[in-house]
């Protein structure tokens, strides 16, 4: 007979199994976080006026320059 005591199982969080534990010390920043892209679909009659995305951006920048500045709340 063995006189060794049985070790108690490791205490686990009730919501998370051990195979789901995550080591945050090895985490890396999201490399895609600063690369936001917005896609807008133009109506066909509006799209017919523009040759490419660059021309649409130029017109929108000119329009934004004429708009009154609005303070953004943070």
Confidence (pLDDT) at 38: 82
Task: Write out the chain in H/E/C secondary structure.
Answer: CCCCCCCCCCCCCCCCCHHHCCCHHHCCCCCCCCCCCCCCCCCHHHHCCCCCHHHHHHHHHHHHHHCCCCCCCC
Sign of CA dihedral 22, 25, 33, 73: positive
Per-residue pLDDT tens digits for 11-48: 655 676 777 777 788 888 888 787 777 888 999 999 99
* pLDDT-based confidence at residue 74 (cuts at 50, 70, 90): low
Confidence (pLDDT) at 60: 93
In the block, tokens 């799209």 appear at 47
Domain positions in the chain: 41-68
Q: What pTM did the predictor assign?
A: 0.45
């Amino acid at each position: 007979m063995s006189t060794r005591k049985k070790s108690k199982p490791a205490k686990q969080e009730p919501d998370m199994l051990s195979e789901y534990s995550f080591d945050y010390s090895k985490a890396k920043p999201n490399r895609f976080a600063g690369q936001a892209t917005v896609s807008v679909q133009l109506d066909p009659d509006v799209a017919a006026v523009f040759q490419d995305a660059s021309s649409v951006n130029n017109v929108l920048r000119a329009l934004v320059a004429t708009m009154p500045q609005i303070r953004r709340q943070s």
